[in-house]
């Protein structure tokens, strides 16, 4: 029997290239291509009165300058609104190049194409734009006040107002023995992958083909957008995703203006053109996330059981809504977490501000949702004076209650919000054991005796992963015996080439080393959705498993004919089909690939070897009806609904009594993503997620001033953690409740690490300080201010709400 | 993020560099470039000509004597850190240098360059002031020496004339029965300090505190040194919390903590109080330890 | 605008001399990537904070985005490509990152590899804290650094094993 590959911590096949400098990222491609630089608005809100290009046109090395006036047809239309929603009544998107008005600092106004980026930037600096200033709307307070409007025709700055719920929340809260009201907020952050956006395009006039490489999370989406905007047939555009230096959500948005302008210029100039976003551009022209104000009213009983919740929040959507309402919809639905909330009402407003657009960043609305729910449960525990974990346990959905439907709620995919499987009480038991919850009070006492302040926090989450509609897999066995696999979604470091090869090796019975996986290449997989919402393993993993099964069926069918035995007597191990119990009677997959094609040119050893076998029915055509030449399997996976992963994070912090610095003493993660394909890769995803979570909780925030200038648009001032800011150790424990929704029982894992982190830190810092934490992220300076405020108000609680 | 065009020269001798600099208009001297190049790349600064002094052999020397440490304009932070005798003669130098950015930046960045960048949120300008360092500047017109009060005339502004090149810095040795300490608090390890403090404490023959001076980072417009002797002189044994608190308040009366996106002004003030206490205490302990060590040792053991 | 001044520059990279003609403003990172085609050196921020472009200049880790190509002539430069052995096999640092899942998207990786290669040369037997210190100036957005620290320790082990063999 072949060693099982799924579940093994196999080292990644990607790495040999990447550790030797042989990766191919967007900026590594097409040496000598012309380079594009973008003139971006320095003002948050202004009307463009005039653009003077005079000083640019004669600049040596400049090949073209484009403004809105140079765009025609579909290129002159606003960019697409990717995910419309009935409640998005005032959706607005920007133009590829600003038409008349700019709505955030960083909005593209003109592009220059030049011999290299240096000259292109020289030219951009010489373009003169005159503006008529309009009042900027920055921050949720200003947007809600609506004294000024971002878009003249959007009253109240409200892009959307959405209301959902089940039961009678208001009634339940009114009748509840206990009530609490919370007003809390989360600040803006951003994905900031180490590689910014990048697009390269080459127009081949002879073939009439546009070849585009883009650092994207959706090859098919960018391809379709380019075809449609440039008036090309879909079949004329190839979109290849090269190595991508991280995405974390920001690269799912498409098409970015530059993704259209690069191929546009390449066709116009007849030369390859490249755009590589620099770091400052990334901060002011890619996407942000997280910013929300939240108002929660909750009614509960003496035991801390929640009877009803009314959740209102205001979501800062930035200047435009190209990605629809995905982020706030997720917040509004994932708020419910692992809990049975009998009566729920949620309403949110998505608000325009004169700032960078807000689209999903790893977690995509879930960190805010978990923060809201977990702050609420901590408040209930504090109010009743009971252990925070007990409050959570008393509200958990129980293991025998799956599938569990939350009333009539619908999720981000428009499908009913139904959890497929899970075991939350066991997760909690594991989390408490891992972090040492029961021993903490003793530790606190010891620390207190030394004049130290420590606190413990905990947060639970449920994550809807693997949203549809579909992904595909294509498995081709070559005559060499190599197994070529393609799936259309893209890879940004998740190790898909390894994990998907593990699936195929197991499903097909091939050797892991013989399997080669390609992702995000529309020439191989024209039908695909993209990589987001922790969906790659679930969606493409499942599709590839199904495709491999089809390939296997065909291999067995052919082998049965060649070996003149019954299919049921055959097995495939290490790429060889043999008769069970008689391993000498065998045929390898490469030879079967030869036999699968009646046109048997003997180009290789496998073809010669195949001459000894006979397949096919002489009474039928060489390719019988319903068959195809070649040894391939192709299939698509399309689930009825999402599968729900879950987990709990717990953290112990120490806060310096003098400087308010926050040190992480212990970080524990318990999670359940169903079947693990490669535990090493899953743990890597958790490590990275937690690090981003730490950043989001303690370091990273977008600092806009009132005029809409982003004050920290650099890695100098936007504080991504170095190794020195991350816990020395992240303790991880796994729980496996397979999903019944897909062939392998997989649930998504990519975003989990970041989802409950801010909530867990808020809980721990509150516990250490005895001061209610209502805003995250929190810096030592802010914590110090809270201490002063609490001392002035006399509101410090007795330490320790554990 | 690419710099605007500029001319470039790489003189082989100091004389050549001085002439070139005198003749040029809107030129800048380039050595380490770790502060200048990001500004050029972001086009927040521009320069008509860059005069690269890295090829001038005589500017790369470190000379350590009993009197102190002398180092040229192309000496990297890491060169000073790696030099064994530097720490023995003036331990404040490595104590502070460890806080300058990250090791990779220290491999290229120069200490003289950092001092004449005159950033009050940089460690080395403050150390220069605290140690009563002397900067040698040269031009075709001659040579002069500057101490901190004459050098630092405003935020990121020095009294160097347009044709003057900073060629070397001298930092005096730590006097006998003196101790040093440096500490800072930054948002991330390696970032600019929210507040940094270096202190030099001197003892008298009986081991009582005779002098306390502290230099401050990121809480004033120009590198600032405060004499903290008043509440502390005469102390022996454990310094009391009250005395350290008084020292912190005294320091604050000479400083102007300001708010930025990373910290409020009163948080910075708090860090001044806390770090003053911690650093003065550590410098005192260091002075005591050094005095004890030197008692049983010949006085010339250091060289 | 006058025609840009061009300068002949000789760069010694991974033991090979290259002659290029560039403007004085050309960053070393761009010269390596676009003039020499050594695209293993990545550019993550161009203001010296992220460390992705770190190369070895006379053996010392240095930001290639904070150096002009024209000023790099007197040095021996090593990029990630130069860490690979002449026979194509992986150096201890490269092998260790592969063994320990020390990378995900791989974009920051070349900067870590060069930094650690120099680091374990200077300190062949780092403690875990020293390993952390060694990489404290490089940003990674994928791994949470846990496996990078493990990779540093593993790289030191592999290197020690090799020197024993050759001793």
Question: Is C133 found in the same domain as C107?
Answer: yes
Name the minimum distance, in Å, from the CA of B201 to any CA of chain C: 30
In tens, the pLDDT along B222-266 reads: 999 999 999 999 999 889 999 999 999 999 999 999 999 999 999
Establish if C167 belongs to a structural domain: no
- Orientation angle between helical segments A757-769 and A780-793, nearest 10 degrees: 40
Of the candidates A711, A717, A722, the beta carbon closest to that of B189 is on A722
Question: Is C107 found in the same domain as C62?
Answer: no
Chain A residues touching residue C97 (CB < 8 angstroms): 15, 19
- Per the omega criterion (within 30 degrees of 0), is the bond before A777 cis? yes
Lowest mean pLDDT among A138-142, A742-746, B224-228, C113-117: A742-746
- Rounded to 5 degrees, what are φ and ψ at A626? 85, -10
Of the candidates C4, C63, C133, the beta carbon closest to that of B5 is on C4
- Is A723 an interface residue toward C (CB < 8 Å)? yes
Chain B residues touching residue C5 (CB < 8 angstroms): 5, 7-8
Per-residue pLDDT at C145? 98
Residue of A nearest to B1 (CA): A278
Question: Is B182 found in the same domain as B159?
Answer: no
Per-residue pLDDT at A799? 44
Q: How far apart are CA C111 and CA A220, in angstroms?
A: 32
- Residue that is last in its domain, among C51, C83, C115: C83
Q: Are A211 and A204 in contact (CB under 8 A)?
A: yes
Q: How far apart are CA A517 and CA B197, in angstroms?
A: 56
Establish if B89 belongs to a structural domain: yes
Per-residue pLDDT at C82? 98
Establish if B128 belongs to a structural domain: yes
Interface A-C: count of C-beta contacts within 8 A: 177
- Residue that is last in its domain, among B172, B201, B225: B172
Per-residue pLDDT at A437? 98
In tens, the pLDDT along A477-530 reads: 999 999 999 999 999 999 999 999 999 999 999 999 999 999 999 999 999 999
Answer whether residue B94 shows pLDDT above 50: yes
Q: Measured between alpha carbons, how far apart are the two ends of chain B, in Å?
A: 48
Establish if C129 belongs to a structural domain: yes
Q: Do C70 and B42 touch (CB under 8 A)?
A: no
Domain membership of residue C25 as a residue range? 7-83
Q: What ipTM was assigned to the predicted interfaces of this complex?
A: 0.97
Establish if B189 belongs to a structural domain: yes
Per-residue pLDDT at A549? 96
Q: Please state, rounded to an integer, the average pLDDT across all residues of chain B.
A: 95
Question: Is B269 found in the same domain as B204?
Answer: yes
Name A41's Cβ contacts closer than 8 Å, sequence gap at least 6. A98, A102, A104, A105, A106, A107, A109
Q: How many CB atoms lie within 10 A of CB A617?
A: 9
Q: In B, what residues contact A, Cβ < 8 A?
A: 1-5, 42-43, 185, 187-191, 194, 261-264, 266-267, 270-271, 274
Q: Are A434 and A668 in contact (CB under 8 A)?
A: yes
Question: Is B141 found in the same domain as B228?
Answer: no
Residue of C nearest to B5 (CA): C25
Q: Are A299 and A176 in contact (CB under 8 A)?
A: yes
Name A207's Cβ contacts closer than 8 Å, sequence gap at least 6. none
Which of A196, A30, A723 is CA-nearest to residue C43? A196
Mean pLDDT of B175-191: 97
Helix (H) or strand (E) holding A593: helix A589-595
Q: Are A384 and A176 in contact (CB under 8 A)?
A: no
- Residue that is last in its domain, among C43, C61, C83: C83
Q: Do C103 and A21 touch (CB under 8 A)?
A: no
Q: How far apart are CA B104 and CA C57, in angstroms?
A: 10
- Is C25 an interface residue toward A (CB < 8 Å)? yes
Mean pLDDT of A18-29: 98
Residue A395 to residues A132, A297, A340, A411, A585, Cα–Cα distance (Å): 55, 17, 6, 21, 60
- Residue that is last in its domain, among C30, C62, C83: C83
Question: Is C14 found in the same domain as C65?
Answer: yes
Residue B227 to residues B195, B196, B214, B253, Cα–Cα distance (Å): 18, 16, 7, 11
Q: Do A724 and C136 touch (CB under 8 A)?
A: yes
Q: Which fold has domain A469-637?
A: Aldehyde Oxidoreductase; domain 4 (3.30.365)
Q: Hey, of B39, B98, B102, B188, which one would you mutate to test binding to chain A, going by the most A CBs within 10 A of its CB? A: B188
- Residue that is last in its domain, among B137, B172, B207: B172
Question: Is B183 found in the same domain as B152?
Answer: no
Question: Is B220 found in the same domain as B194?
Answer: yes
In tens, the pLDDT along A623-670 reads: 888 889 999 999 999 998 999 999 999 999 999 999 999 999 999 999
Establish if B297 belongs to a structural domain: no
Question: Is C154 found in the same domain as C128?
Answer: yes
The band of C167, judged by pLDDT with boundaries at 50, 70 and 90, is: low
Which of C29, B2, B270, B207 is CA-nearest to residue A123? B2
Question: Is B288 found in the same domain as B208?
Answer: yes
Of the candidates A15, A22, A193, the beta carbon closest to that of C141 is on A193
Number of domains in chain C: 2
Q: Are A616 and A598 in contact (CB under 8 A)?
A: yes
For chain A, the domains span 18-134+191-285, 292-467+640-793, 469-637
Name the minimum distance, in Å, from the CA of A340 to any CA of chain B: 40
Question: Is B191 found in the same domain as B168?
Answer: no
Domain membership of residue B82 as a residue range? 64-172
Q: Do C63 and B1 touch (CB under 8 A)?
A: no
Q: Do C41 and A21 touch (CB under 8 A)?
A: yes
In tens, the pLDDT along A543-598 reads: 999 999 999 999 999 999 999 999 999 999 999 999 999 888 999 999 999 999 88
Number of domains in chain B: 3
Q: How far apart are CA A67 and CA A155, in angstroms?
A: 29
Establish if B73 belongs to a structural domain: yes
Q: Above pLDDT 90, what percent of chain A?
A: 91
Answer whether residue B300 shows pLDDT above 50: no
Mean pLDDT of A441-467: 96
Residue of B nearest to A118 (CA): B2
Q: Are A202 and A208 in contact (CB under 8 A)?
A: no
Q: How far apart are CA A22 and CA A6, in angstroms?
A: 28
Give the residues across from A185 on adjacent strands.
Answer: A293, A775
Mean pLDDT of A342-358: 98
- For the domain spanning A18-134+191-285, the CATH number is 3.90.1170.50
The CATH number fitting domain A292-467+640-793, selected from 3.30.365.10, 3.40.1690.10, 3.20.20.80, 3.30.310.50: 3.30.365.10
The band of A112, judged by pLDDT with boundaries at 50, 70 and 90, is: very high
Q: Do C51 and B104 touch (CB under 8 A)?
A: yes
- Is A700 an interface residue toward C (CB < 8 Å)? no
Answer whether residue C166 shows pLDDT above 90: no
Per-residue pLDDT at B296? 58
Per-residue pLDDT at A601? 65
Q: How far apart are CA B76 and CA B104, in angstroms?
A: 11
Q: Do C132 and A691 touch (CB under 8 A)?
A: no
Establish if B59 belongs to a structural domain: no
Which of A405, A336, A352 is CA-nearest to residue A151? A352
Mean pLDDT of C32-46: 98
Looking from the CA of A331 toward its CB, the CA atoms found within 13 Å total 35
Answer whether residue B302 shows pLDDT above 50: no
Q: Do C63 and B8 touch (CB under 8 A)?
A: no
Strands B142-147 and B134-139 turn out to be: antiparallel
Per-residue pLDDT at B295? 73
Mean pLDDT of A758-762: 98
Instruction: Indicate which CATH number applies to the domain containing B259.
Output: 3.30.390.50
Q: In the structure encoding, which two tokens stand for residue C135, read together?
A: 């990489």
Q: Are A18-134+191-285 and A292-467+640-793 the same fold in CATH?
A: no
Name the minimum distance, in Å, from the CA of B3 to any CA of chain C: 6
Answer whether residue A2 shows pLDDT above 60: no
Q: Do A661 and B1 touch (CB under 8 A)?
A: no
Answer whether residue C165 shows pLDDT above 50: yes
Mean pLDDT of A350-362: 97
Question: Is C60 found in the same domain as C119?
Answer: no
The band of A602, judged by pLDDT with boundaries at 50, 70 and 90, is: low
Q: How many residues does chain A have?
A: 802
Q: Are A294 and A368 in contact (CB under 8 A)?
A: yes
Establish if C2 belongs to a structural domain: no
Establish if B235 belongs to a structural domain: yes
Q: How far apart are CA C54 and CA A723, in angstroms?
A: 17
Q: Do C61 and B4 touch (CB under 8 A)?
A: no
Q: Do C106 and A14 touch (CB under 8 A)?
A: yes
Of the candidates B3, B189, B194, the beta carbon closest to that of A725 is on B189
Instruction: Indicate which CATH number applies to the domain containing C104.
Output: 1.10.150.120
Per-residue pLDDT at C52? 98
Question: Is C17 found in the same domain as C53?
Answer: yes
Name A43's Cβ contacts closer than 8 Å, sequence gap at least 6. A102, A105, A131, A133, A136, A708
Q: How far apart are CA A3 and CA B256, in angstroms?
A: 68
Q: Hey, of A9, A16, A20, A700, which one would you mutate to test binding to chain C, going by the most C CBs within 10 A of its CB? A: A20
Answer whether residue A616 shows pLDDT above 90: no
Question: Is B254 found in the same domain as B184?
Answer: yes
Instruction: Indicate which CATH number applies to the domain containing C60.
Output: 3.10.20.30
Question: Is C102 found in the same domain as C64?
Answer: no
Q: Are A525 and A486 in contact (CB under 8 A)?
A: yes
Q: Do B104 and C63 touch (CB under 8 A)?
A: yes
Per-residue pLDDT at A310? 98
């Amino acid at each position: 029997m072949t060693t099982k590959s799924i579940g093994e911590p196999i080292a990644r096949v990607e790495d040999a290239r990447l550790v030797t400098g042989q990766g191919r990222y967007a900026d590594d491609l097409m040496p000598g291509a012309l380079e594009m630089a973008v003139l971006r608005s320095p003002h948050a809100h202004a009307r463009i009165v005039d653009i003077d290009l005079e000083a640019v046109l004669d600049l040596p090395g400049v090949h073209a300058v484009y403004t809105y006036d140079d765009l025609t047809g579909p290129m002159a239309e606003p960019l697409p609104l990717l995910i419309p929603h009935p409640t998005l009544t005032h959706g607005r998107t920007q133009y590829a190049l600003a038409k008349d008005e700019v709505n955030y600092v960083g909005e593209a106004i003109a592009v220059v194409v030049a011999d290299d980026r240096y000259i292109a930037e020289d030219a951009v600096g010489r373009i003169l734009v005159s503006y008529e200033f309009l009042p900027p709307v920055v921050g949720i307070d200003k947007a809600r006040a609506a004294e000024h409007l971002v878009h003249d025709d959007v009253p109240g700055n409200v892009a959307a107002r959405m209301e959902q719920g089940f039961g009678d929340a208001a009634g339940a809260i009114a009748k509840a023995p206990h009530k609490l009201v919370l007003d809390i907020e989360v600040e803006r952050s951003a994905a900031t992958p180490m590689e910014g956006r990048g697009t390269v395009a080459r127009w081949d006039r002879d073939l009439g083909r546009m070849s585009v490489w883009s650092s994207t999370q959706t090859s098919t989406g960018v391809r379709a957008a380019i075809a449609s905007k440039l008036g090309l047939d879909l079949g004329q555009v190839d979109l290849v995703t090269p190595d991508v230096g991280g995405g974390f959500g920001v690269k799912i948005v498409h098409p970015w203006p530059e993704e259209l302008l690069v191929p546009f210029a390449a066709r116009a100039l007849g030369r390859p053109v490249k755009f590589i976003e620099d770091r400052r551009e990334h901060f002011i022209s890619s996407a942000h996330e997280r910013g929300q104000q939240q108002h929660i009213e909750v009614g509960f009983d003496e035991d801390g059981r929640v009877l009803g919740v009314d959740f209102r929040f205001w979501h800062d959507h930035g200047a435009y809504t190209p990605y629809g309402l995905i982020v706030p919809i997720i917040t509004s639905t994932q708020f419910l977490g692992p809990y049975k909330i009998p009566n729920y009402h949620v309403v949110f407003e998505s608000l325009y501000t004169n700032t960078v657009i807000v689209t999903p960043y790893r977690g995509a609305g879930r960190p805010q949702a978990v923060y809201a729910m977990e702050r609420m449960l901590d408040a209930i525990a504090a109010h009743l004076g009971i252990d925070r974990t007990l409050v959570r346990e008393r509200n958990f959905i129980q293991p025998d209650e799956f599938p569990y439907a939350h009333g009539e709620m619908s999720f981000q995919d428009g499908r009913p919000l139904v959890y497929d499987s899970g075991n939350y009480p066991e997760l909690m038991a594991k989390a408490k054991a891992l972090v040492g919850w029961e021993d903490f009070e003793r530790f606190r006492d010891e620390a207190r005796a030394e004049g130290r302040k420590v606190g413990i926090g905990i947060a639970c989450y449920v994550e809807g992963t693997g949203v549809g509609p579909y992904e595909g897999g294509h498995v081709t066995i070559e005559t060499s015996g190599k197994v070529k696999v393609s799936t259309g979604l893209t890879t940004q470091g998740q190790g898909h080439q390894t994990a998907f090869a593990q699936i195929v090796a197991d499903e097909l019975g091939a050797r892991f080393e013989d399997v080669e996986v390609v992702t995000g290449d529309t020439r191989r997989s024209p039908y695909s959705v993209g990589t987001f919402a922790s969906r790659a393993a679930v969606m493409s993993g499942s599709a590839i498993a199904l495709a491999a099964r089809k390939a296997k069926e065909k291999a067995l069918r052919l082998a049965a004919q060649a070996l003149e035995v019954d299919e049921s007597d055959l097995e495939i191990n290490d790429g060889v089909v043999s008769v069970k119990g008689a391993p000498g009677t065998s045929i390898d997959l490469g030879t079967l690939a030869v036999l699968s094609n009646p046109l048997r040119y003997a180009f290789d050893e496998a073809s010669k070897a195949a001459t000894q076998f006979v397949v096919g029915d002489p009474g039928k055509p060489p390719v019988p009806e319903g068959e195809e030449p070649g040894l391939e399997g192709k299939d698509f996976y399309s689930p009825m609904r999402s599968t729900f992963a879950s987990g709990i994070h717990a953290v112990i912090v120490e806060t310096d009594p003098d400087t308010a610095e926050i040190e992480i003493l212990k970080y524990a993660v318990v999670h359940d993503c169903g079947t693990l394909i490669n535990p090493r890769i899953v743990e890597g995803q958790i490590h990275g997620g937690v690090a981003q979570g730490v950043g989001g909780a303690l370091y990273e925030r977008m600092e806009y001033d009132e005029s809409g200038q982003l004050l920290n648009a650099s890695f100098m001032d936007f504080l991504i953690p170095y190794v020195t800011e991350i816990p020395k150790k992240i303790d991880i424990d796994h729980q496996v409740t397979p999903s019944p929704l897909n062939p392998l029982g997989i649930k998504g894992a990519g975003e989990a690490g970041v989802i409950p982190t801010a909530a867990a830190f808020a809980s721990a810092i509150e516990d250490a300080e005895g001061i209610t934490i209502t805003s995250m992220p929190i810096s030592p300076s802010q914590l110090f201010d809270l201490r002063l405020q609490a001392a002035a108000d006399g509101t410090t609680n007795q330490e320790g709400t554990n | 993020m690419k710099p605007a065009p500029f001319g470039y020269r790489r003189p082989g001798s100091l004389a050549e560099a001085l002439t070139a600099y005198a003749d040029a208009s809107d030129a800048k001297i380039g050595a380490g470039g770790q502060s200048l190049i990001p500004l050029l790349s972001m086009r927040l600064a521009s320069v008509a000509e860059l005069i690269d002094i890295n090829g001038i052999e005589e500017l790369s020397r470190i000379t350590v004597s009993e009197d102190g440490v002398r180092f040229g304009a192309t000496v990297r932070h890491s060169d000073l850190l790696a030099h064994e005798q530097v720490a023995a003669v003036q331990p404040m130098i490595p104590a502070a240098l460890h806080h300058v950015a990250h090791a990779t930046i220290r491999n290229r960045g120069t200490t003289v360059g950092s001092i004449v960048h005159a950033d009050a949120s940089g460690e080395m300008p403050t150390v220069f002031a605290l140690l009563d360092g002397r900067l040698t500047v040269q031009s075709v017109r001659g040579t002069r020496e500057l101490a901190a009060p004459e050098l630092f005339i405003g935020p990121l502004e020095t009294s160097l004339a347009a044709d003057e090149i900073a060629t070397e810095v001298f930092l005096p040795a730590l006097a006998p029965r003196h101790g040093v300490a440096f500490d800072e608090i930054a948002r991330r390890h390696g970032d600019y300090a929210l507040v940094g403090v270096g202190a030099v404490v001197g003892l008298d023959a009986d081991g009582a505190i005779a002098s306390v001076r502290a230099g401050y980072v990121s809480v004033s417009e120009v590198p600032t040194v405060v004499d903290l002797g008043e509440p502390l002189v005469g102390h022996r044994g454990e310094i009391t919390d009250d005395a350290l608190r008084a020292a912190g308040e005294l320091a604050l009366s000479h400083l102007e903590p300001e708010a930025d996106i990373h910290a409020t002004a009163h948080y910075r003030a708090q860090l001044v109080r806390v770090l003053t206490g911690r650093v003065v205490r550590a410098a005192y302990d260091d002075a005591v330890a050094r005095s004890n060590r030197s008692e049983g040792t010949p006085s010339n053991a250091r060289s | 605008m006058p025609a840009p001044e061009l300068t002949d520059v000789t760069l010694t990279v991974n033991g090979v001399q290259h002659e290029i003609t560039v403007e004085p403003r050309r960053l070393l990172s761009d010269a390596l990537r676009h003039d020499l085609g050594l695209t293993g050196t990545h550019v993550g921020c161009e203001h010296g904070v992220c460390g992705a472009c770190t190369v070895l200049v006379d053996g010392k880790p240095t930001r290639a985005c904070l150096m002009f190509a024209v000023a790099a002539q007197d040095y021996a430069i090593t990029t990630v490509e130069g860490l690979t052995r002449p026979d194509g096999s992986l150096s201890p640092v490269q092998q260790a990152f592969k063994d320990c899942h020390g990378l995900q998207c791989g974009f920051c990786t070349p900067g870590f590899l060069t930094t650690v290669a120099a680091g374990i040369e200077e300190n062949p037997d780092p403690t875990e804290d020293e390993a952390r210190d060694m990489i404290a100036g490089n940003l990674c957005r994928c791994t949470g650094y846990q496996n990078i620290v493990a990779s540093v320790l593993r790289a030191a082990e592999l290197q020690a094993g090799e020197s024993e063999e050759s001793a």
